[in-house]
Amino acid sequence: MTKTATADEAHVKASMRKVALTALAGTSIEWYDFFLYATAAALVFPSAFFPDSSPTIGLILSFGTFAFGFIARPLGGILFGHFGDRIGRKKTLVIALIMMGIASTLIGLLPTYATIGIAAPILLSVLRFAQGLAIGGQWGGAMLLVTESAPHDQRGYYGAYAQAGAPVGVILANLAFIIISATVSEEFFMSWGWRIP
């Protein structure tokens, strides 16, 4: 093997490591935001957004809004996949990350049913749908970016980095809620503490 071939191979490996770790980080952030919602839907949203319902119906309605994210996911994959082919995967990944960040922030700032009435669960559902579009675009785009950039014989290996972001995000989202709920009173947690993560 020549010196040039060895240098090229080292450059490709370093470049792929950067792409894979970036995909892991981006996917972890997206799934963190996506699954923060799941925990809040179980613990907080029934009383905050559906207080006129029985606890059981409130929980069902809350998980119904959670489902909107999964309904929107394939649509986000199609939408962002289309634009990823046209304007580039990196640009659409950035747009998806920003979209997720904005939707998650707005959910954290959203007034509850007690403040704005029926508009609260409607806005919650719309923002959850936006989260689903974003995760559909980001996850598919990250997988494609990594696997298309990887050497042919290592596509599965590097693609696994983007895939690993989902469980990392789930773990981080649950840890965030555990830490917040353990450090503040239940009253504060139910009123504003859930908005912190």
- Can you read off the two tokens belonging to residue 99? 């979209």
Domains of the chain, by residue range, sit at 31-195
Predicted TM-score of the model (pTM): 0.90
CATH architecture under which domain 31-195 falls = Up-down Bundle (1.20)
- Please tell me the predicted confidence (pLDDT) of residue 11: 76
- Please tell me the predicted confidence (pLDDT) of residue 4: 62
Question: If the chain, 197 residues long, is cut into consecutive pieces of 10 residues, what is the mean pLDDT of each piece?
Answer: 66 87 93 94 96 96 96 97 94 95 97 98 98 95 91 92 95 95 94 91
- Please tell me the predicted confidence (pLDDT) of residue 100: 96
CA distances from 145 to 22, 29, 56, 133 (A): 11, 17, 42, 18
Rg (CA), the chain: 20
> Max alpha carbon distance in the chain (Å)?
74
Q: Give 177: exposed, middle or buried? Use CB within 10 Å, 0-12, 13-18, 19+.
A: buried
